[in-house]
Amino acid sequence: MNLRQRIRPIKISCKPWKRYKGEIKLLPISAQCLFSNNGLPWDVLEIELKSEGWLFENEELWSVISTDQGLKRQKTYDEPKESFDESWTEEDYSNFYTNGLL
């Protein structure tokens, strides 16, 4: 999932429309479709995306969605897939890798 796919179902609120109309036209077409009159407020969405790991703490949503590359990006961090098993020794791991199990 990328940032565009994360935002698309909820949309970004652009009320009042006249305030954002000129700025939204400057965005790529792929970003323009993310705006709606009944979407989530901009500042709320930005805080939510930062807490979920889509944006860095010092990053603004506008700067990210203003480019196609920004919309294609993945999360800034991922949750670990597996936890490290502390009970395994170095020998256990070497046997695991050399026997072709991974």
33 within some domain: yes
| Dist. CA 3–CA 67, nearest whole Å | 12
68 within some domain: yes
Contact predicate 72/28, CB 8 Å: no
Domain region containing 61: 3-72
85 within some domain: no
pLDDT tens for 64-96 read 888 888 888 888 765 555 555 566 677 776 776
- Evaluate if pTM is beyond 0.75: no
88 within some domain: no
82 within some domain: no
pLDDT tens for 27-53 read 777 788 888 878 888 888 889 988 888
Does the pLDDT of residue 23 top 80, yes or no? no
Q: What is the pLDDT of residue 85?
A: 59
Count how many domains the chain has: 1
87 within some domain: no
The 3-state secondary structure of 44-101 reads HHHHHHHHHCCCCCCCCHHHHHCCHHHHHCCCCCCCCCCCCCCCCCHHHHHHHHHCCC
79 within some domain: no
84 within some domain: no
